[in-house]
Amino acid sequence: MAAQQKRSWKLQEFVAHGSNVSCLSLGPTSGRVMVTGGEDRKVNMWAVGKPNVILTLSGHTSPVEYVQFNSGEDLVIAGSQSGTLKIWDLEAAKIVRTLTGHKSSIRGIDFHPYGEFVASGSLDTNVKLWDVRRKGCIVTLKGHTDGINFVRFSPDGRWIISASDDNTVKLWDLTSGKLLHDFKQHTAAVNCVEFHPKEFLLATASNDRTVKFWDLETFQLVSTIDPETSGIRCVAFHPDGHSLFSGAQDSMRVYGWEPVRCYDSFSLGWGKVADIAISSNQLIGASYHQTNVSVWVIDLEHLENLVAKYNDETADVGNNVMGGAPGEEKLAKVVPSNKTPPRKAFSTERPQTTSSKPRPKAEQPGVPEEPSSKEGESNDNKNLAAPDDIFSAKQKLDRTPPRQKHEPFQPPLEDPLSHGPSKQAPVVKPSAIAPDPVKPSKPTSVNENQQHQQMIPSERDKPAGLVLSDFLPSRAPAINDPSQNNANFDQHKFQPKNPAMSEKDVISTLSKSHDSIATIMTARLKNLSVVARHWGDGEIKTAVQVSVDMNDQAILVDLLNVLCLKQTLWNLDVCSLLLPHLKDLISSKYESYVQAGAIAIKLILRNFAPVIKSNMAAPPVSVGVDLVREERYNKCHKCYSHLQSIREALSSKTNISGKMGSLFREMSLAFSSLD
């Protein structure tokens, strides 16, 4: 029963990129795939619930700022910091279109419902509509006075909506290329907009902590939610249209709009949520922080009953759930939009067009026929003859997970829970959860838990491995001290032989170990002075060699912390000296040592992996003598051997959960540059 009653849980957390993640998007149809973009200029595709990357797409030359699936989830578009857009065909895993024209970072992208067009918004304040077949910009929509945060096509494909940092939302007509309406009542930047799936209704979410609902027939404000505790980052209507999901920092709320009400709320730990999707009666939310991506699941089983209950109460009581005049009962019965929507509905059927017929000869390579067979009937022969028609139906694309009715994600097991452990274990990736009830705790937990328990955090408020009471003289408890009553029965240490000590005796006792600690610190300072002397003379290699020969990890960590700040001091000689000892550092019980070793390893891989890889691929030939090349090859071979040894050591640490596990997985991902 505990698992069935769990309303929300964290599904997974994993390292998505070798550098900071800058954007992500969930598959809009299945909610089972996700694409991420990072400062490493790569786009990675993932199966939600699985830790391994499915596909890595490269091609951008600047950090990726926005990513988006098309409705069929067989195309991905990514916009970069330089303003370039690239479209990938996921079946072929290759770039099929590159669109240039924006002058600044891309902040919003959307595919047209029928696939032939793409809309993009940028920090250059412009919205552009692109014809993917012609590879060119059709129209540039100007009017915003600050950067664009979000763009979206209407469900019928006739309008574009754009949200901006200028606190406004603009509705554009595609046919005329003109502004239809300007929504101006937000008081801070607008982050997200969403069309109702069945009605002429629009929801806009802003940093002013509100969501506003607008009637798209009259362009009038319908309602506004009460301000939340932080800015609204993303919104999504339920597929049935009876409610709206509003995602903010560490929270999710479910709203109705006529009258405005909050059906439900969830307190989560997802931070700044970046995208949400609804699938299998569950809401999947994803967020990112630095190199990590987190995925959360909210169970929506109870939602329909909850909405129906609220609507019934509204019908009985009036327009206000908390109270109202009985005479308003008729109005409340008319308002709920999930039964009889009073507004017009979007027509999602593709209209018959003739605009593409005059230009088939010039566009044979890119005439799309993706959405349905009806549109393709008149041009099928020509379309099928085009090999790089990116919008043709991809029947053999075997998505992960497959395109079928998806089973809902299962909540993680609790301690006393025994129902269905075998099914839930593969979904929840921290696999230590499932084996606990099955295998004896001692053999399974000793190795894994030792790594957690013995790891001494770098940020701590007490000495590592020391109990302060062990160094304090024993004192008798106060006679009337109730806090010591139970302790007297259990612990004999509260019955000291010398119940009273003077202040002088206490200080003398505490000072006994001071001399030994002072000796240790003096020796360390002396060693650091030796290293500093060589460093000051510019003998970096000698300084590294001396610190290594001292066989003191504390000295080595101090040196690494300085070296990592001065990347120009690194060379193959320094790498070959340090790498054997970096393996020992990442196995240390001190978190600060592990972190210093990890930073150094990532720096070496980032700066020297291409050199090492190229030299290992082309060893010096036996004809002739090239001493410089042979020496470089020997250094590279030595570094390569040590790096492979570190890689093997990391393989057993990537399954650890928590911050250290994320660090080890990030390091393991960085080793891909050697492949």
CB atoms within 10 A of CB 112: 22
Render the burial of 298-316: b for 16+ CB within 10 Å, e for the rest: bbbeebeeebeebbeebbe
Measure Cα distances from 462 to 375, 458, 517 in Å: 71, 11, 16
- Look up residue 503 and give its two tokens: 């202040």
**Residue 102 or residue 658, greater confidence:** 102
Amino acid letter, residue 191: N
Virtual CA dihedral for 549, 552, 553, 555, nearest 10 degrees?
-90
Taking the C-alpha atoms of residue 14 and residue 311, their distance in angstroms, rounded to an integer, is 41
What percent of the chain has pLDDT above 70? Answer: 72
Confirm if 15 and 669 have CB atoms less than 8 A apart.
yes
- Look up residue 590 and give its two tokens: 């001190």
The pLDDT of residue 472 is 56
**Residue 346 or residue 419, greater confidence:** 346
The pLDDT of residue 269 is 86
Q: Please report which confidence band the pLDDT of residue 427 belongs to, taking 50, 70 and 90 as the band edges.
A: very low
Confirm if 245 and 205 have CB atoms less than 8 A apart.
no
The pLDDT of residue 190 is 95
**Mean pLDDT along residues 31-48:** 93
Give whichever of 64-68, 477-481, 645-649 has the largest mean pLDDT.
64-68
Q: Radius of gyration of the chain from Cα atoms?
A: 31
Q: How many angstroms separate the first and last alpha carbons of the chain?
A: 48
Taking the C-alpha atoms of residue 245 and residue 254, their distance in angstroms, rounded to an integer, is 5
Phi, psi at 401, each rounded to 5°: -70, 165
The pLDDT of residue 437 is 38
Taking the C-alpha atoms of residue 575 and residue 638, their distance in angstroms, rounded to an integer, is 9
The pLDDT of residue 494 is 45
pTM beyond cutoff 0.75? no
**Mean pLDDT along residues 661-668:** 80
Q: Which of 164-168, 256-260, 277-281, 382-386 has the lowest mean pLDDT?
A: 382-386
Residue range 293-309, pLDDT digits in tens: 999 999 988 887 888 77
Q: Please report which confidence band the pLDDT of residue 69 belongs to, taking 50, 70 and 90 as the band edges.
A: very high
Q: Please report which confidence band the pLDDT of residue 464 belongs to, taking 50, 70 and 90 as the band edges.
A: low
Give whichever of 6-20, 22-36, 382-396, 636-650 has the largest mean pLDDT.
22-36
Taking the C-alpha atoms of residue 61 and residue 58, their distance in angstroms, rounded to an integer, is 9
The pLDDT of residue 462 is 58
**Mean pLDDT along residues 322-326:** 40
644 has pLDDT over 60: yes
Taking the C-alpha atoms of residue 246 and residue 204, their distance in angstroms, rounded to an integer, is 10
The pLDDT of residue 564 is 87
- DSSP 3-state assignment of 127? strand
The pLDDT of residue 458 is 61
The pLDDT of residue 116 is 82
The pLDDT of residue 191 is 94
Residue range 90-141, pLDDT digits in tens: 988 889 999 999 999 999 999 999 878 999 999 999 999 999 888 789 999 9
